[in-house]
Chains A and B, each alone.
Chain A
């Protein structure tokens, strides 16, 4: 991972959503949503609860398949993508309700993030010999960088189930980073945190974007965080896009204000 110069130079379009609609039975989760995300930027998705934000991330990631519309990522358009293909193409994510592997330690959890980069054959695995061993150690080194970066050295051997909520969220971020993604999807990374933890998390996200040049799409409810962190914002309400632009533009958008205040429309 070569560091990108500190002034984040926003690049070309990395991800483009065209007319995405998603329905579960009779419920329309997303209705004709279109926007794009540029390389190296931080894009926030905001909106009242139930607006379809998590569903949007799930579509980008391949967990849900849209009933209409297409997703274009790095130039390739696709309608149906399996989650592990998304991972292979360089998309990583975290979840609203932490999706860590509760039965494993922090170190093991983060190591699973390196899965796609491990290629040693089965026989070598059985004997823990040659390529398997050297790979394991090389990846351990990389994972330790991330552990240092996120300051979780003291808990690396702790089973994840025993950690406090804030630390679990950090471990989940570490796991996502372990895959060295180009696009990082964060689903409410600061939910349930106090002020200190939020500041730490903000700092980490900015560092990730600065140092590794990772493009970040995040869902967030805290307006302060959104205004500070993001380059551009998308606003959803009832599955539809009602705002798209810089944080200031969006803040002054009447439709957005109405949505949040619950004005009937």
Chain B
């Protein structure tokens, strides 16, 4: 029982990590109707920038804080560049074109990030205590070990979800973002400043990417494979719905737990490696049964 709980908890924690990346996707999709394939590359880029800046600023009084502020500035600058050079020329193009453009951006970011910062693995230490916390001592003998950084990650994800949810539903800018996601031209004709909105959205997505990068990076070290996380986030979105913040979190958790549990309990029977495709096959099944995901909206085509 204890072992099962540990596996589930481990899965939940992995799921939180997926959710954090998926949140960035949802933001951009919700606000501009674009599926940002480059989100994973943004996570990696943000983490790389942070880590290397921290190293450069080693001698100052608070390398983490200064590096963090600088990285935030970099991500905002990145959002501005992307809007200016890629999004603006492609406004009103079909979604597939924009998707492929973000594919291009992900290649550029990968190449650029590694060209500038190098492609080694870097350890990220943000000062979260490493001592694991023991939970459920009453239910299970010896309790269940939970790394405290994972708990911190869960907390951060929860706060982000709440914050973003409120932002979209209650604020004027949030409403504008939803209008833009629906119809670029219509939003423009109502006077919503598309360019400004997009810079905001991509900046926020960049910051979410940064948070995800910090969380992932301190757990696994900052390395190239971080970029591949983007591919994992796709099934999360399918499960949760492309436009739902809650969906991103729930989807991530389901996939995280599902992966871990199936790997541990079914893995030995099929030679392992289930983790590689479990998420995708689950997403595929969802696509056949409920394409809009658990929390997404159904699309009706008018003739």
Listed in ascending order, the chain A residues whose CB lies under 8 Å from chain B are 54, 58, 63, 95, 99
Contacts and interface: CB of A to CB of B under 8 A. Distances in A.
Nearest to B303: A63
Contacts of B303: 54, 58, 63, 95, 99
Contacts of A95: 303
Nearest to A187: B303
A79 B303 CA distance: 20
5 contacts: A54-B303, A58-B303, A63-B303, A95-B303, A99-B303
B234 to A, nearest CB: 28
Nearest to A96: B303
Shortest Cβ-Cβ A-B pairs, 4 listed: A63-B303, A58-B303, A95-B303, A99-B303
A143 to B, nearest CB: 25
A116 B303 CA distance: 22
A64 to B, nearest CB: 9
Nearest to A25: B300
Nearest to A57: B303
Chain B interface secondary structure, helix, strand, loop or mixed? loop
A182 B303 CA distance: 22
Interface residues of B, number: 1
Interface of B: 303
Contacts of A54: 303
Contacts of A58: 303
B292 to A, nearest CB: 16
Nearest to A58: B303
Nearest to B301: A63
B183 to A, nearest CB: 15
A63 B303 CA distance: 9
A58 B300 CA distance: 15
B301 to A, nearest CB: 10
A223 B54 CA distance: 75
A54 B303 CA distance: 9
Contacts of A99: 303
A95 B303 CA distance: 8
A145 B303 CA distance: 29
A99 B303 CA distance: 9
A105 B215 CA distance: 53
A172 to B, nearest CB: 13
A151 to B, nearest CB: 28
A93 to B, nearest CB: 10
Nearest to A99: B303
Contacts of A63: 303
B303 to A, nearest CB: 6
A58 B303 CA distance: 8
B13 to A, nearest CB: 41
A102 to B, nearest CB: 11
A98 to B, nearest CB: 12
B150 to A, nearest CB: 43
A226 B262 CA distance: 67
B138 to A, nearest CB: 49
B93 to A, nearest CB: 14
Nearest to A63: B303
A258 to B, nearest CB: 29
A179 to B, nearest CB: 18
Nearest to A64: B303
A190 to B, nearest CB: 19
Nearest to A55: B303
A98 B303 CA distance: 10
A99 B302 CA distance: 12
A60 to B, nearest CB: 13
A99 B301 CA distance: 13
A10 B40 CA distance: 67
A142 B33 CA distance: 44
B88 to A, nearest CB: 23
A47 to B, nearest CB: 18
A38 B303 CA distance: 26
B96 to A, nearest CB: 13
A92 B303 CA distance: 15
B94 to A, nearest CB: 11
A188 B136 CA distance: 69
A84 to B, nearest CB: 14
A95 B199 CA distance: 39
A57 to B, nearest CB: 9
A251 to B, nearest CB: 30
